[in-house]
Amino acid sequence: MSHPEHLGHHRELTDAELEDLHFGTVLDAFAQYRQYSLSANSRRLKDFYSLPISHQNLLNELGFRKKIDMVDQRIEANAKFLHAVVDHPDIFTEDHPSGEDLVRDPHSPGGGGTSYSLLDHGTPSQSTIYGPNADAGAGIRLGV
């Protein structure tokens, strides 16, 4: 989406156009999340390897390297979810069919996972929202 002023137009944007422009910016950020986050974590690892071996050993005793690997796994899980949002932005529109594109909580009792629509106005529990990231690599699965 480009701003009309960039196309030579000099008019005020409507609220709907501003919202669409912002929504496109958010989707772009979601699309770039994985690359940006993995690069940032890679920089941490590069900094770690620039330390003297004695310092690396000390940090490894404290679990530093395991934590870096766990962060990578969680970034991958988050990126999978955000990629699904980018692929299906219509889940945020009012005319989205009810019952589709549900988020499944793999940590819910019963094993099947609790489902709720991303448009659901109820407030899911914190464990439903954050639980998938509590275990490295657990991820969030979408019913798409």
- Which 8-state DSSP code applies to residue 27? H
The residue with greater pLDDT, 47 or 90, is 47
Q: How far apart (Å, rounded) are the C-alpha atoms in residues 56 and 54?
A: 5
Parse the chain into domains and list their residue ranges: 15-142
Task: Please provide the average confidence, as pLDDT, over all residues in the chain.
Answer: 73
Per-residue pLDDT for 97 more than 80?
no
pLDDT score at 92:
81
Highest mean predicted confidence (pLDDT) among 9-23, 70-84, 87-101: 70-84
Q: To 5 degrees, how large is the angle CA 1–CA 38–CA 125?
A: 80
pLDDT category at 11 given cuts 50, 70, 90 is confident
Q: How far apart (Å, rounded) are the C-alpha atoms in residues 144 and 141?
A: 9
